[in-house]
Structure 1
Amino acid sequence: MTYISQTCATAPSRPSLIAGLTARLAVWKQRRALKALDDSALNDIGLSRRQANTEARRSFWDAPDSWRC
């Protein structure tokens, strides 16, 4: 007799509401921190003040896919 040890395959689940909110909060915090950096720190990471301000003004839900959990 054959036993199946796994359940049926299902579609990948979507992130939970809490996980989505947590990710958005992280984006918001990162953008606030970016805006607070001084010009020397921005130069160290290869950004201008203008680029940092442009990124900081973006909405918290407007995040690249690579930032998402």
Structure 2
Amino acid sequence: MPVRLRKFIGTIAIVSLVIVYALTATILATLILDNRPWWAALLYFTFTGVLWIVPAMFIIKWMAGPPVNRR
């Protein structure tokens, strides 16, 4: 796969991941953190704010993979 196409697909995947992840984390927060103390919300949003990096890391690693050698 050409590098430009891989980067284009990866960019769309990361943007989609961030949108879906943010909506899911916010919906879960409204359901889970309804009558919880402030520190529970702080822990939840700290954890979910860092957790999206794991799948994004794999997408970026795939995007930056070795280029295809054409001979």
TM range (shorter): 0.3 to 0.5
Q: TM-score, normalized by length of structure 2?
A: 0.39
RCO comparison, higher one (Cα < 8 Å, 6+): 2
Q: TM-score, normalized by length of structure 1?
A: 0.40
Structure exhibiting the larger radius of gyration computed from Cα positions: 1
Bigger fraction of residues in helix: 2
